Amino acid sequence: MPKKNLCASGLAFGLKAGAEGAIAILWADLVALKRCLPNYLAATVVTPLLYIAAFVFGLGGGIKMDGISYLKFVIPGIIAMTAMNSSFNGAGTRLVIDQIHWRSFDESLMAPVSQIWLLLGKASIGVLRGMVSSIAFLVMAVIISPDLHIGPQFLLSLLLACLMFSFLGVLSALLARTYDDMIVFSSVVIMPMAFLGGTFFSLNYLPSAVKYALYLLPLTHVSICLRASILGESIPFGSFLAMLAFLAIFAGATLLVLKRKDA
């Protein structure tokens, strides 16, 4: 058999084995999600709907932001925030409980799965929860505002956002020594970012120094990409590349922390 065919076969076998390992790591979380799916959907949809009721209908329907109705402006921001919260908590909270309380994460480390696929399996539950929560709210949003544009660009940006924040959740869980550390991280990083990342207001109304500082937040670029997609505009490549960069940083840092932890 030619050498190229052997390399291709070896690569295909490695990818198949890695994917099977990641699915095995993910399976227990999938079973847990399936059991509580109705309650989970209800809990994740209520908060975004309350934001719409408070910030849109409570303030009046005639408000405009960046030349469009405030309803159309804020829906992508709320979807971005929902994706962030659900993905981060879905991956991070679950892992920190397994690691600190149940001590089951050590068993995962002993599994015949490479660290990269192990982390991908742990992050995948956050991606799944983030996508489920975001799409559930999106269905409600389309009922409220039927002229929203939902296409491949929107779904790709949403998937990338969920993957990015899932790795951030896994990273914070690996660094946490107690469950309180996760609460502190959420309060200091996630909560402020939820309100400052271009979700409820346009960055164009801010002073230049503050505006460029907020571009350092990953949620800002998620809001920009989802807003452009849902309005039928071309993809903002700068923000899309920033999301890819944040994903690479979070995934690389997570792998580095795990290697040190497993050393």
pTM: 0.89
Residues 171, 167, 83: CA angle, nearest 5 degrees: 125
Give 70's pLDDT tier (boundaries 50, 70, 90). Answer: confident
What is the per-residue pLDDT for 173?
92
Task: HSE, CB side, 13 Å, CA atoms: give it for residue 206.
Answer: 15
Domain span at residue 225 reads: 3-262
Task: HSE, CB side, 13 Å, CA atoms: give it for residue 124.
Answer: 18
Residue with more model confidence, 203 or 30: 203
Looking at every residue in the chain, the average pLDDT score rounds to 86
What is the per-residue pLDDT for 51?
86
Is the model's pLDDT at 256 over the cut of 60?
yes
Q: Tally the domains of the chain.
A: 1
Write 94-103 long-range contacts (CB < 8 A, 24+). Answer: 94/29, 94/32, 94/125, 94/126, 95/122, 95/169, 95/170, 95/173, 95/174, 96/172, 96/173, 96/176, 96/179, 96/182, 97/179, 99/173, 99/174, 99/176, 100/176, 100/177, 100/178, 100/179, 101/179
